[in-house]
């Protein structure tokens, strides 16, 4: 199997995993991991079911999952952010307690400097997404292994870039660590604790609404009810 994660190509940001490479095939764990990445990026029900089956297999693969993900991530490098994001996603779903420290290290890896010539989709932006996924994966692993939940506090204490700090705080709060986070954050950062995730149903607006009875503004008045200020115009006859 091979992975083409170059988002600068005309194919956009899609991650394509195709058969025929040695990238994932060096071990049994690597092969199953490759299948997981391939099915993760499929958009049909069959792909979702296949992804769940591969995750179940990876949970039985032993402790070499972290080593395999680490090796593949190093091979992918900065140019393979799509692949590394997918690997971390799978790690969140399949990783054991020993994955927590690897995910913390991944989240705190130094970000590249911003290059103003790269536009709005820079290498730094892609790397920010990879580290965000590492933080989310810590939360996923901790929900299965509560004993490693406090690993996310290591990310908060390290004070990473603001978007990553916010994500780490959200994950920590979801894991029931609000009080611990409050003691770690400076007082001026306590506002982050009030950020919450909203389900799509909470923010969904019905475009077919027809009742039209509720208004959030007062419409202007016309005719006899027109209340705008009036200006009287007068002229004087020159002598």
* pLDDT confidence of residue 114: 83
Full domain range(s) for residue 130: 100-110+122-205
Task: Quick: pLDDT tens for 203-236.
Answer: 666 666 565 555 555 555 555 554 555 555 554 4
Task: Please check whether residues 41 and 90 belong to one and the same domain.
Answer: yes
* pLDDT confidence of residue 78: 79
d(CA 168, CA 16): 29
d(CA 150, CA 207): 43
CA-based radius of gyration for the chain: 26
Task: Quick: pLDDT tens for 8-65.
Answer: 333 344 445 444 345 676 788 999 999 999 999 888 899 999 999 999 999 988 679 9
Answer whether 96's CB lies under 8 Å from 59's CB.
yes
Structural domain contains residue 235: no
Structural domain contains residue 115: no
Mean pLDDT of the chain: 81
d(CA 197, CA 173): 11
Label residue 54 exposed, middle or buried (CB < 10 Å: 0-12, 13-18, 19+).
Answer: buried
Structural domain contains residue 227: no
Task: Please check whether residues 145 and 201 belong to one and the same domain.
Answer: yes
Residue 131: helix, strand or coil by DSSP? helix
113 confidence band (pLDDT: 50, 70, 90): confident
Answer whether 30's CB lies under 8 Å from 72's CB.
yes
* pLDDT confidence of residue 239: 45
Task: Please check whether residues 90 and 128 belong to one and the same domain.
Answer: no
Dihedrals phi, psi of 4, to nearest 5 degrees: -115, 100
């Amino acid at each position: 199997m091979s992975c083409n994660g170059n988002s600068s190509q005309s194919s956009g940001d899609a991650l394509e995993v195709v058969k025929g490479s040695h990238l994932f095939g060096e071990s049994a764990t690597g092969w199953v991991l490759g299948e997981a990445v391939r099915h993760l990026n499929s958009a049909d029900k069959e792909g979702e079911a296949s992804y769940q089956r591969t995750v179940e297999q990876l949970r039985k693969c032993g402790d070499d999952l972290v080593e395999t993900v680490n090796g593949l991530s190093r091979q992918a490098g900065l140019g393979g952010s799509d692949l590394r994001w997918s690997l971390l996603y799978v790690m969140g779903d399949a990783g054991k307690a020993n994955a927590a420290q690897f995910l913390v290290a991944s989240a705190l890896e130094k970000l590249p400097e911003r290059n103003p010539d790269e536009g709005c989709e820079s290498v730094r932006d892609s790397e920010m997404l990879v580290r965000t996924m590492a933080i989310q994966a810590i939360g996923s692993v901790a929900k299965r292994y509560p004993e490693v939940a406090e690993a996310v506090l290591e990310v908060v204490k390290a004070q990473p870039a603001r978007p990553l700090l916010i994500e780490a705080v959200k994950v920590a709060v979801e894991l029931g660590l609000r009080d611990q986070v409050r003691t770690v954050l400076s007082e001026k950062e306590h506002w982050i604790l009030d950020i919450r995730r909203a389900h799509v149903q909470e923010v969904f607006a019905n475009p077919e609404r027809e009742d039209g009875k509720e208004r959030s503004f007062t419409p202007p008045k016309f005719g006899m009810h027109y209340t705008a200020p009036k200006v009287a115009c007068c002229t004087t006859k020159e002598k």
